[in-house]
Amino acid sequence: MVPRSARDLVLGPVVLSAAANVVMELSWPGVGHGVAESHVDSGDLMVHPAHRFRTTTTYLAVALLGTDDERAAYRRAVGRSHAPVHSTAESPVPYDAFDPELQRWVALCLYRAFEDTWGLLAGAPGTRLPDPVFGACAVLGTTLQMPPERWPADRDAFDDAWDDGLRHVRIDDTVRAHLHRVLRGDFLPGPLARATAPSRTFWTTGFLHEPFRSLLGLEWSAADRRRFEARLRRLGAVVHRLPPPLRRAPYSTALADLRVRRRLGIALV
């Protein structure tokens, strides 16, 4: 089973890798401190979790399912939201939300999540997607402000970029504290956070690559890996039998919301 286009990667179960993706993205100090220090409350997961889920899902939807015009509109909206996000004299590391290197790292992490999820659902962990599908995923970065030429030339070049990116991974105490809040589910009502803690930890740890698990002290055994892969394989057997609109329902719903907002003149982000 091989995806024919980037649109095929947009499957509902990708949401299971969301927390793992946050960990990977924020492991770059510039991204991690940009989020941990940000005063843009509207994008703060801990303050407005529903809003954060909507805007992130919409970003992925418009990037992979939207039109060029919709991507341009969302890029402008995200740009306005990112404008205040930059380091200050008190910041331990320099950062700017418009830094194309930081944006490329975010896009690489997003691609990793889509590729990993596709392979696991297909019962083929470690699948490398075809170059044409990989190339089309440049929109994961260019729908931000990443220049198109910063996207790796092919899937082999992605591996080089990923390995290079891992050399920059650092999680200091400030970012670690923020990530543990994400892992604990502090953005959820207390009873719900406690009830879902085991499953959230399981899915998040499973989707993480090294060195991220070790940096956060998360345990993962060979038995855990087998159980993780078996669950996703069974889930994939169901998902791939569904009509495409149902497979990507969370994302098509978010895209429909974006289109309504544009017609009514409501803020996109």
- pLDDT confidence tier of residue 78, bands split at 50, 70 and 90: very high
* 31 close to 91: Cβ distance less than 8 angstroms: no
User: Three-state SS for 137?
Assistant: coil
Rounded percentage of the chain residues whose pLDDT exceeds 70: 99
- Whether 43 shows a pLDDT value over 90: the answer reads no
pTM assigned to the model: 0.94
pLDDT averaged over the chain? 93
Q: pLDDT higher for 119 or 89?
A: 119
Q: Indicate the pLDDT class of residue 114, thresholds 50, 70 and 90.
A: very high
For 33-43, b/e burial (b = at least 16 CB within 10 A) is bbbbbbebeeb
Number of H helices, E strands in the chain: 14, 0
- Taking residues 200-212, what's their average pLDDT? 95
Predicted pLDDT at 175: 94
Pairwise CA distance, residues 250 & 54, whole Å: 10
Minimum mean pLDDT among 89-93, 122-126, 127-131: which range? 89-93
Q: What is the pLDDT at residue 49? A: 86
Q: Assess whether pLDDT exceeds 90 at residue 51.
A: no
Please state, in angstroms and rounded to a whole number, the distance separating the CA atoms of residues 165 and 2.
27
Nearest to 108 by CA among 12, 28, 29: 28
In which band, very low, low, confident or very high, does the pLDDT at 127 lie, cut at 50, 70 and 90?
very high
Task: Return the pLDDT at 130.
Answer: 95
